[in-house]
Amino acid sequence: MKKIYTLFLSILAFLFLSFLPIEASAANVIDHYGLLTEQEIHELNERAQQISEKYNVGLYIRIVPNKEGKDSIFQYAEYIYKRDGMGLGEEQNGYLLTICMDDRSYLTTAYGSKAHASFTDFGKELVESDVESNLRSGNYKGAMDAFLNQSEYMLEQNELGTPVDVPGATPITEAELQARKQRQRNMRIGITAGTSPLASLLICLGLRRRHKTKGLKHDASAYIPKNGLNLQNVKDIYLYSTESRTLIVDTSSKGSSGGGTSINSGGFSHGSGGHF
Amino acid sequence: MPEQVTNYKCIRCGGPLHFDAKEQKLKCEYCDSTFTNEEIETLYKTANEAAIEQSYESDHADRLQWSAEEAKHMRAYSCPSCSAELLCDENTAATSCPYCGNPTVVPAQFHGALKPDYVIPFKLDKKDAIKALYNFYKGKVFLPNAFTDGAHIEEIKGIYVPFWLYDGTADSDMAYHGTRTNSYTSGRYHVTETKHYKVIRQGEVRFKHVPADASSKMPDEFMDALEPFNYVDMVPFQMSYMPGYLADKYDVTAAENSKRADVRMKNTTLDTIAATAHGYLTLVPEVERVHLSHDRIHYAFFPIWMLTTRWNGESYMFAMNGQTGKMIGDDLPVDRGKFLLYFLGLTLLFGIVLWFLLLR
What is the domain extent for residue A133? 18-176+261-275
Same-domain pairing of B285 and B167: yes
Q: Report pLDDT digits (tens) over B317-343.
A: 999 999 999 999 999 999 999 999 999
Predicted local confidence at residue A245, as pLDDT = 84
Predicted local confidence at residue A3, as pLDDT = 56
B224 lies within 8 A of chain A by CB = yes
Rounded to 5 degrees, φ, ψ at A103 are: -120, 15
Q: Report pLDDT digits (tens) over B232-283.
A: 999 999 888 888 888 888 889 999 999 999 999 999 999 999 999 999 999 9
Mean pLDDT of chain B: 84
Q: What whole-number distance in Å separates Cα of residue A214 and Cα of residue B317?
A: 11
Predicted local confidence at residue B300, as pLDDT = 95
ipTM value: 0.75
Same-domain pairing of B81 and B147: no
Same-domain pairing of B100 and B153: no
Q: Which residues of B222-246 are buried (b: 16+ CB within 10 A; e: fewer)?
A: bbbbbbebebeebeebbbbbbbbbb
Q: Report pLDDT digits (tens) over A138-168.
A: 899 999 999 999 999 999 888 888 888 876 6
Boundary of a domain, candidates B63, B79, B114: B114
Which 8-state DSSP code applies to residue A221? G
Q: Which of A55, A49, A47 is nearest to A27 (CA)?
A: A49
CB contact under 8 A, B207 and A212: no
User: Residue B357: is its pLDDT beyond 60?
Assistant: yes
Report how many Cβ contacts below 8 Å link chain A to chain B. 209
**What SS3 class is residue A94?**
strand
Cβ within 8 Å of residue A62, ≥6 positions away: A30, A32, A80, A96, A97, A98, A99
Same-domain pairing of B70 and B94: yes
Q: Report pLDDT digits (tens) over B274-312.
A: 999 999 999 999 999 999 998 899 999 999 999 988 888
Using a CB-CB cut-off of 8 Å, the residues of chain A touching B228 are 222
Same-domain pairing of B104 and B173: no
Residue A83: give its domain's CATH number: 3.10.310.50
Q: How many domains does chain A have?
A: 1
Same-domain pairing of B66 and B214: no
What is the domain extent for residue B106? 2-114
Confidence band (pLDDT; 50, 70, 90) for B15?
confident
3-state secondary structure chain B: CEECCECCECCCCCCEEEEECCCCEEEECCCCCEECHHHHHHHHHHHHHHHHHHHHHHHHHHHHHCCHHHHHHEEEEECCCCCCEEEEECCEEEEECCCCCCEEECHHHHCHHHCCCEECCCCCCHHHHHHHHHHHHCCCCCCCHHHHHHCEEEEEEEEEEEEEEEEEEEEEEEEEEEEEEEEEEECCEEEEEEEEEEEEEEEEEEEEEEEEECCCCCCHHHHHHCCCCCHHHCEECCHHHCCCCEEECCCCCHHHHHHHHHHHHHHHHHHHHHCCCCCCCEEEEEEEEEEEEEEEEEEEEEEEEEEEEEECCEEEEEEEECCCCCEEECCCCCCHHHHHHHHHHHHHHHHHHHHHHHHC
Predicted local confidence at residue B49, as pLDDT = 56
Q: Which amino acid is at B101?
A: G
Residue B113 near residue B309, CB atoms below 8 Å: no
Q: How many domains does chain B have?
A: 2
Q: Report pLDDT digits (tens) over B57-74.
A: 444 444 445 566 656 666
User: Residue B55: is its pLDDT beyond 60?
Assistant: no
A40 part of a folded domain: yes
**Residue percentage of chain B with pLDDT more than 70:** 83
A79 part of a folded domain: yes
Best mutation target among A12, A16, A210, A213 (most B Cβ atoms within 10 Å) is A213
Predicted local confidence at residue B60, as pLDDT = 43
Same-domain pairing of B48 and B163: no
Predicted local confidence at residue A164, as pLDDT = 84
A240 part of a folded domain: no
Q: Report pLDDT digits (tens) over B90-111.
A: 677 777 776 666 777 777 667 6
Q: List, run by run, the mean pLDDT of 10-residue segments along chain A (276 residues).
A: 57 54 68 92 93 94 93 92 91 94 92 90 89 90 92 89 74 68 85 92 94 92 94 95 78 51 84 87
Predicted local confidence at residue A250, as pLDDT = 46
A226 part of a folded domain: no
Same-domain pairing of B236 and B318: yes
B353 lies within 8 A of chain A by CB = yes
Same-domain pairing of B26 and B49: yes
Using a CB-CB cut-off of 8 Å, the residues of chain B touching A185 are none
Mean pLDDT calculated for residue range B183-193: 83
Mean pLDDT of chain A: 84
Same-domain pairing of B210 and B275: yes
User: Residue B155: is its pLDDT beyond 70?
Assistant: yes
A192 part of a folded domain: no
Predicted local confidence at residue B61, as pLDDT = 43
Using a CB-CB cut-off of 8 Å, the residues of chain B touching A90 are none
3-state secondary structure A126-142: HHHHHHHHHHHCCCHHH
Predicted local confidence at residue B56, as pLDDT = 41
Q: What whole-number distance in Å separates Cα of residue A168 and Cα of residue A171?
A: 9
Predicted local confidence at residue B267, as pLDDT = 96
B344: left (phi over 0), alpha (psi -120 to 50) or beta: alpha
Using a CB-CB cut-off of 8 Å, the residues of chain B touching A192 are 351, 354-355, 358
